[in-house]
Amino acid sequence: MKIRANTEKAWKSGRIVHQRGYINHIMKALIILTLLTIPLLTSGCTTNNKEDSITVLAAASLTEAFQELSHDFEAKYHIKVEPDFAGSNTLAIDIEHGAYADVYASADKKYMTALIKQGYVNKSVAFTRNKLVLVVPKANPANITSVTDLRRNVKLVIANRGVPVGIYTRKALLNLDSIYGNGFSNQVLSHVVSDGIDVKGVLTKVVMDEADAGFVYSSDAVTANGKVKVIELPENGGGVFPKYYIGILTGSKNKKDAQKFINFVLSPEGKKILKKYGFEAEK
Amino acid sequence: MKLFAAIYTIAGVIVAVFIFFPIVSVVINAFHAPPALLLSHDTVAAIKLSLITATVSTLIIFILGTPLAYYLARNDSAFSRALDLLLGLEMVLPPAVAGIALLAAFGRTGILGRYLAVFGITLPFTTAAVVIAQTFVALPLYVNPVRAGYASINRNLEGAAFTLGASELYTFLKISFPLARNATLAGAIMSWSRAMGEFGATIMFAGNFVGRTQTMPLAVYSALQVSFNKAMVVAAVLILISFVILIAFGAISKRNSKRSDLNA
């Protein structure tokens, strides 16, 4: 109250009159800016429903391959593709909580099955498969040449047990127990220094030379552009072949183009791109 | 004036609803989750780690930041202006950038980190790295209010102490520091909260390992990979802790301001 009284006094005495025009300008600018944001806000809530575009939610490991696929698809059909990448499970949670999309591509059957059960997806098709590999930084500071070197005290990064690649890593290590003896997997897991939030989280730590080794998909190793060395696991990836599933969301408003996109992924052209990024043909 | 009252009331209500609903939704969701999730080993480890690291970071910030804030409040030199600029930059830096910067400097192959490695010290993936990341991002949040606190002190009081023969350090400890008590407390709470919430720099620089580097925000994100319910529970605990701290802060600063009223 005291401040207000003082201000009013100052105002009446003319002391701050000269400031008035200046303040008015700022207020006007603020109000105009506010008004300008309203259409932005409302349009922000309703994008992606356009007839000639589709939104594709894809597993983080598909990032580079699907970027190229989308690009080629756009060039061929003149249908805009808006891809969004994250862990398959994060995307599934997004979909369950109302995220709008036309296509979902999962790195694991589990999340696709869950979405089908809940009615978010009608049917899905396996379109490619991946392989688990060990990667080390190009300089290979811990001098790792085989998965058995993980018995030594190295800095290992694996993915969180919630994401598919984390589940596959643990499964593959358990499989390797049959070759290297019981306790191998436990010994290796005791050298884990960090849990990657997703497969890219694991790869980054190896690319940046902070970790000595990490388990990623062969497709991710390809995207690292020679910054990592790939060490194949025995039994072709520890006997683990993650299959990738793709399906149209029931909430899609553009199922026709979504189907076109899936057909494109399954076409020889699509398979060629997937192969280029380290994915194998689904057998 | 009535129109303006209507405008600020409506704005207040909109903002309140906007903040209130997301927070309350987390708490409601958490109540529906099985309580076993709260007591799960990694949740407890994350709570412990967060409380310890945020407190250690705040102590470090207090020890380094207090003299710094005093210096910045009392000096206007090229060096102080450069420091000011650096602190400002730190404040606006996205945490992920802070994480990359810390790796570039203190990582295993970083500019300074490679020399540390010679002595067998590697910071990434250690609890020390968590504290470094938190200290890095939270420092300006302490220094800025505390500097303002020292700047607003009546300098005649310090001058009086000097004329009575008090040393500079004695004056600081007995006069300046107590007078800037509220600002110090506000800064400490701000930086503590920022440290508690630190995510980007931590996951980049320190990694994500249960019990060692997985603080609560990282635990929320990791839990999200496993189950939505679990993430909600950890998030609710984080909200609860922040709430309790804010209430405590409110109570302490109220008591303090009463005391300084009496002194004045």
Check whether B220 has a pLDDT greater than 50. yes
Strand bridging mode A53-59 / A80-86: parallel
Which strands make up the sheet holding A192-196, listed edge to edge? Answer: A192-196, A156-159, A213-217, A132-137, A228-232
Long-range CB contact pairs, A42-49, < 8 A, 24+: A48/A82, A48/A100, A48/A101, A49/A100, A49/A253
- DSSP assignment of B18-86: HHHHHHHHHHHHHHHS-GGGTTSHHHHHHHHHHHHHHHHHHHHHHHHHHHHHHHHHH--SHHHHHHHHH
Contacts of A209 in chain B (CB under 8 A): 107-109
Minimum CA–CA partner of B202 in chain A: A194
Task: Summarize the confidence of residues B124-136 as an average pLDDT.
Answer: 95
- In chain B, residues 19-48 whose CB comes closer than 8 Å to chain A: none
Residue A51 — very low, low, confident or very high, per pLDDT cuts 50/70/90?
Answer: low
- Which 8-state DSSP code applies to residue A107? S
Task: Summarize the confidence of residues B227-248 as an average pLDDT.
Answer: 86
Among A158, A208, A212, the strongest candidate for a mutation testing the B interface, having the largest count of B CBs within 10 A, is: A208
Helix (H, G, I), strand (E, B) or coil at A54: strand
Helix (H, G, I), strand (E, B) or coil at A154: coil
Q: Does A125 touch chain B (CB under 8 A)?
A: no
- What is residue A203's predicted lDDT score, i.e. its pLDDT? 93
Distance, in Å, from the CA atom of B46 to the CA atom of A255, rounded to the nearest integer, reads: 44
Check whether A45 has a pLDDT greater than 60. no
Task: Summarize the confidence of residues A203-214 as an average pLDDT.
Answer: 92
Radius of gyration of chain B (CA): 22
Check whether A9 has a pLDDT greater than 60. no
Task: Summarize the confidence of residues B74-93 as an average pLDDT.
Answer: 91
Residue A131 has φ and ψ, to the nearest 5°, of -140, 140
Residue B9 vs residues A5, A20, A31, B99, B175: alpha-carbon distances, Å: 21, 24, 17, 40, 42
Check whether A161 has a pLDDT greater than 60. yes
A119-133, B89-103, B217-231: which has the minimum mean pLDDT? B217-231
Q: Does B203 touch chain A (CB under 8 A)?
A: yes
Task: Summarize the confidence of residues B42-64 as an average pLDDT.
Answer: 94
Contacts of B125 in chain A (CB under 8 A): 155, 193-194, 210-211
Contacts of A198 in chain B (CB under 8 A): 225
Residues present in chain A in total? 283
pLDDT tens for each residue of B166-207: 888 999 998 899 999 989 999 999 999 999 999 999 999 998
Q: From the CA of B158, how many Å to the nearest CA of chain A?
A: 29
Q: How far is CA B95 from the centre of its chain?
A: 13
- What is residue B109's predicted lDDT score, i.e. its pLDDT? 83
- What is residue A36's predicted lDDT score, i.e. its pLDDT? 73
| pLDDT > 90 in chain B, percent | 48
- What is residue B55's predicted lDDT score, i.e. its pLDDT? 95
Task: Report the first-to-last Cα separation within chain B, whole angstroms.
Answer: 35
Check whether B102 has a pLDDT greater than 90. yes
- In chain A, residues 75-114 whose CB comes closer than 8 Å to chain B: 87, 89-90, 93, 96
Distance, in Å, from the CA atom of B82 to the CA atom of A254, rounded to the nearest integer, reads: 55
Asked if A89 lies within 8 A of B207 by C-beta distance, the reply is no
Check whether B50 has a pLDDT greater than 90. yes
Task: Summarize the confidence of residues A80-86 as an average pLDDT.
Answer: 91
Strand bridging mode A103-106 / A192-196: unpaired
B120, two tokens? 């067998």
Q: How many beta-carbon pairs below 8 A join chains A and B?
A: 62
The better pLDDT of the pair B258, A124 is held by A124
Contacts of A26 (CB under 8 A, 6+ apart): none
Asked if A163 lies within 8 A of B225 by C-beta distance, the reply is yes
Distance, in Å, from the CA atom of B143 to the CA atom of B67, rounded to the nearest integer, reads: 9
- Which 8-state DSSP code applies to residue A227? S
What class, spelled out in words, does domain B33-263 have in CATH?
mainly alpha
Residues B83/B185, Cβ–Cβ less than 8 Å: no
- In chain A, residues 204-263 whose CB comes closer than 8 Å to chain B: 205, 208-211
Q: From the CA of A196, how many Å to the nearest CA of chain B?
A: 7
* Angle at A133 (CA atoms; ends A129, A138), nearest 5 degrees: 130
Residue A92 vs residues A97, A101, A246: alpha-carbon distances, Å: 9, 11, 12
- Which 8-state DSSP code applies to residue B176? I
Domain ranges of chain B: 33-263
Task: Report the first-to-last Cα separation within chain A, whole angstroms.
Answer: 78
